[in-house]
Structure 1
């Protein structure tokens, strides 16, 4: 097992410097690169859980499917999750009930419960060894929250038809005997990349075609350009976490957040295999109130692995709270040890990107304004189940079947009751354009040490600079090619992140996360 500082990536296997536990302990699933033009019925862009589940559903139904992934299988945000499988959503059911009505909240609960069962069925049908377990989940109060909200959430989950119960203690946590919680029974967990490897092999065995290191550009209703080859399709599914085919519409309905994860060994059997969450910081400045989430994963004969996440902030905006990326890991470790003191040395750390819709539910279905392009986005901290729901909705739509959840998750929906949050997020995005006139974080490239980057002003221009470990200086326009925000340096994952809509770029300027579909423009440095 590696030390946390040794789990580093050169940018070729995942969207960041740090390597997650899943990536470190699973096969690097890859397929051939494109070598010619392709014609197919369905082109799926994205090789994470959303894209692969959609592909699996469609090839089982006899559709001709081609899937392209610009990295390797699961190398995007799917490989950077904590792989909770839960119907306990990161926004409360009483909020969903108020926003979508009792029937809408009940459909949401039913769909996420069904998604867990569908994943379990896929695992059994395909005989995938991915450490799947049915476990209980426990929601306990953040210090900023009120105990009456726990009772309020219990009532809302009961109205939604979930199997929940109020307990006067929280199993597994320090001082748990005096900490009440809301128990969500019969939830689940698994090893996400082992699951995706099994899905990918199944897609291929059923006649589907998968290409890796295959970057899609110029996505349209006719298909896409993939590694400069023409991929023509009757239907296109964009399953890239944040849609890369949409310039503006969907990015006004959701915001990108960075979330942080640590993992360390604990004695085998010391904690039950369970899921834990706190209710979130009600005093947070962020619209999506950050919360903590914890689980236990089997590691070896003598140890389990405790995996803990949280300390979220808007992508590219860690400076808004004056807390650096490295300090967020420290805060997360401090919080985790206060509730789980059995935690040993931290052996993994990584961060991921979460798309937070303003009304809490994902956007899965036909892309607004397009007849034959579908999207899966807005995971809202429940990416495993949201992606599985989205794959079912889109597969049914392509097969001409009306899915009972499609209206609830429609990308075209408008929820008037979340207008305040919408306005708050829009104002935050707009304020980021002030970076054009603000001072830069670097005065001179001479200040840069190997492995460091930053933003520097050159006349009226903003320049993103990075000094490689061989001391070579790289420079790019700091203007995000999506909608013109100024990117910010992420010293933890060693990337340039856009604070407006969450696009992220590697140290060589290559786009790693949408919505941008172009690289940062290189600049010649004298």
Structure 2
């Protein structure tokens, strides 16, 4: 089964064409996921002329690969967040994330967007073999930030009837691409211009403006928002404070009413997460995710899906066949909050970078924050997400995540995965050593070879093959390349260097 999410059947502005020639606007937004489209919505509602530009189709990136949990509490536990950032910042973090869910609810209601938005409870439950004191610590932290929470015993999952549990009211779910289709339509009505399949090759600030250069044109704007999650404007400083992780999701068919509709997460590491999505007739979909790992550091998706399916069938015996399966990439920051606001050293470039597994709420909240800052307003949340903050308490996380770079660069002196191109079967990719060079080799299903340098064009890290998604992953900062060498995920903007056979 190929990688296809439950949401991908919904196309957004498929007629959007490429940028050709020059264009001008008040604000240019690079990236058309939930962060980019929400930013365009907020600014166009306030009278700004906006252009949204994307290297691929509109909303076809990682937003289309979410599991769409709208949960305002820290994905890495509020107790951990409070240890690193303190109670005051933790409270602001929670309030800002909750405001993002409120904003989605408000927009879908006021704009009459049919996107299956639903308020429901969320349950954090004790994982198998995990200590109960995690629940106690989290209860204390959540109460301190002012979020509603109730301590319970048991969730309606088989074998979990006596587990320690926290119940969080007023969480939510929705269909993310149906929502963004509605948001994009409102943006178009407000005069927002969209350009798809237009990779931005350079972002520059000069002479009181920002210019975005593509192969076929240029945008000149008063301000720019880089909403590509991993920024294409910033080379290394902030990238050293984030780490890419890949997560996996299965969708199962299930009869309506077999599982109470709620969000469910356990306390394992990596943790499992579960939600329902409305389906046709008397059926629903159960989304079960987890099995996270550092991007590029594993190529065993089939084994991970098998473990996820086993876990799901054990705890939810009523699930039927698997209908969809996919993976996505999140960008964890070392102190659990994104880098949102004005880029350090810039006056007119703003970032929406890092999501720590909460991309939807970060995207909407970031749009609210960046829009206010661009319009010259101060904002209460600015200190929580400031890109120039110095997270000294997260030094251990910083060192741990940046060990990846040192370990990765050492791979340039190791043997290849294959010794001959003849070993590659159709549809396979692998690393070949040729003298001092490492080559990213892929043989397509027609038998044609695609050979490129195995060096990421961002800062030169060693790429790894991802057989499930059929792409080359960079473990350092999350760049992803198609088999033809073209970058399909930031921060890389340049194609891989072709290599002769």
Q: In the alignment, what sits opposite 2:224? A: 236
Q: In the alignment, what sits opposite 1:347? A: 323
Output one character per residue of 1:131-157: Cα deviation in whole Å (capped at 9) or x when no partner: 111011000122353201201111111
Matches within 5 A, 1:318-333: 318=298, 324-333=300-309
Say which of 458, 464, 468 aligns to 1:482: 458
TM-score by length of 1: 0.92
Say which of 218, 222, 246 aligns to 2:234: 246
User: Structure 1 30/353 Cα, relative in aligned 2: closer, same or farther at 3 Å?
Assistant: farther
Q: CA deviation at 1:403?
A: 1.1
Instruction: Give yes or no for contact 1:23–1:79 (8 Å, CA) kept in 2.
Output: yes
Q: Which moved more, 1:89-98 or 1:184-193?
A: 89-98
Q: CA deviation at 1:228?
A: 2.4
Say which of 341, 348, 354 aligns to 1:372: 348
Instruction: Give yes or no for contact 1:223–1:235 (8 Å, CA) kept in 2.
Output: no
- Say whether residues 1:217 and 2:201 are aligned partners: yes
Give 3-state SS (helix, strand or coil) of 2:151's partner.
strand
Q: In the alignment, what sits opposite 1:142? A: 127
Q: In the alignment, what sits opposite 1:189? A: 173
Q: In the alignment, what sits opposite 1:286? A: none
Matches within 5 A, 1:42-191: 42-170=27-155, 172-191=156-175
Q: In the alignment, what sits opposite 1:285? A: none
Instruction: Give yes or no for contact 2:19–2:216 (8 Å, CA) kept in 1.
Output: no
Instruction: Give yes or no for contact 2:21–2:216 (8 Å, CA) kept in 1.
Output: no
Q: CA deviation at 1:470?
A: 1.1
Q: CA deviation at 1:444?
A: 1.2
- Say whether residues 1:270 and 2:282 are aligned partners: no
Q: CA deviation at 1:33?
A: 2.0
Instruction: Give yes or no for contact 1:259–1:352 (8 Å, CA) kept in 2.
Output: yes
Matches within 5 A, 1:428-447: 428-447=404-423
- Aligned counterparts of 1:23 and 1:490: Cα–Cα separation in 2: 20
Matches within 5 A, 1:281-360: 281=269, 290-318=270-298, 324-360=300-336
Output one character per residue of 1:342-400: Cα deviation in whole Å (capped at 9) or x when no partner: 11111111100000001111111111111111111111111110111111110000111
- Count of equivalent residues: 497
Give 3-state SS (helix, strand or coil) of 1:38's partner.
strand
Q: CA deviation at 1:422?
A: 0.8
Q: Which moved more, 1:233-242 or 1:85-94?
A: 85-94
Q: Name structure 1 gaps, 5 residues minimum.
A: 9-17, 282-289
Matches within 5 A, 1:34-45: 34-45=19-30
Give 3-state SS (helix, strand or coil) of 1:96's partner.
helix
- Aligned counterparts of 1:280 and 1:210: Cα–Cα separation in 2: 41
- Aligned counterparts of 2:416 and 2:9: Cα–Cα separation in 1: 36
- Aligned counterparts of 1:275 and 1:447: Cα–Cα separation in 2: 45
User: Structure 1 516/27 Cα, relative in aligned 2: closer, same or farther at 3 Å?
Assistant: closer
Q: CA deviation at 1:421?
A: 1.1
Q: Which moved more, 1:390-399 or 1:338-347?
A: 338-347
Instruction: Give yes or no for contact 1:430–1:500 (8 Å, CA) kept in 2.
Output: no
- Say whether residues 1:397 and 2:353 are aligned partners: no
Q: CA deviation at 1:513?
A: 0.9
Instruction: Give yes or no for contact 1:30–1:72 (8 Å, CA) kept in 2.
Output: no
User: Structure 1 276/28 Cα, relative in aligned 2: closer, same or farther at 3 Å?
Assistant: farther
Q: In the alignment, what sits opposite 1:284? A: none
TM-score by length of 2: 0.97
User: Structure 1 332/28 Cα, relative in aligned 2: closer, same or farther at 3 Å?
Assistant: farther
- Say whether residues 1:470 and 2:446 are aligned partners: yes
Give 3-state SS (helix, strand or coil) of 2:86's partner.
helix
Output one character per residue of 1:98-119: Cα deviation in whole Å (capped at 9) or x when no partner: 2221111111111111110000
Q: CA deviation at 1:62?
A: 0.3
- Say whether residues 1:454 and 2:430 are aligned partners: yes
